[in-house]
Amino acid sequence: MRNFFRFVMALLRELGDENAYQRHLAAHGVLHSPAEWRRFCDAHWLAQSRRGRCC
């Protein structure tokens, strides 16, 4: 049950881009800050907006 809950939370974090943000911090070797979050969002969402959502 605990594993299932962890999986659900991990899925939600992935869908909510929180994991993507963690990967961004790790890849660039920087710490979380409001400015870094905004930098990540602007690049990430711009890329996301080029991909359609299915009908």
Partner 1 sequence: MSYTPTDLRRSAPVADSGGPPPSRWRIPRAVGWVLWAAISVLGAYSVWVLTEGGKTVNSMWMVVASVCIYLIGYRFYASFLAAKVMALDNRRATPAERLRDGHDFEPTNKWIVFGQHFAAIAGPGPLVGPTLAAQFGYLPGALWIMVGAVLGGAVQDFVILFCSLRRDGKSLGQMAREEIGKVGGFVALITVMLMMIIILAVVGLVVVNALKGSPWGTFTIFATMPIAIIMGLYLRYARPGKVLECSAIGFVLALAAIFGGQAIATSSYAPWFTYSGVALAVALIVYGFLASALPMWLLLAPRGYLSTFIKLGVVLLLGVGVIVVHPQMQMPAFTRFVDGTGPIFAGKIFPFCFITIACGAVSGFHSLISSGTTPKLMARERDATATGYGSMLLESFVAIMALIAACSLPTGVFFAVNSPAGVVGATPAAATATISNWGFPVDAAQMQTLADGVGEKTLFYRTGGAPSLALGMAQIFSSFIRGNQAVLAFWYHFAIMFEALFILTIMDTGTRVGRFMLQDLLGSVWPKLGHTNWKPGMLGTSAVVVAAWGYFLYQGVVDPLGGINSLWPLFGIANQLLAAVALCVATTVLVKMYRARYMWITCVPLAWLTVVCFTAGWQKIFDSAPALGFLAQADALSKGPQTSATAALIFNARLDAGVTAVFMILVAIILVDSIRVWTGILSGNRKATSTETPFVLTRLPEEA
CB of 54 to partner 1, least distance (A): 4
Site string for partner 1, 14-53 (x = CB under 8 A): xxxxxxxxxxx-xxx---xxx--xx--xxxxxxxxxxxxx
Total chain residues near partner 1 (CB under 8 A): 42
Q: Write out the chain in H/E/C secondary structure.
A: CHHHHHHHHHHHHHHCCHHHHHHHHHHHCCCCCHHHHHHHHHHHHHHHCCCCCCC
Q: Which positions touch partner 1 (CB under 8 A)?
A: 3, 6-7, 9-24, 26-28, 32-34, 37-38, 41-55
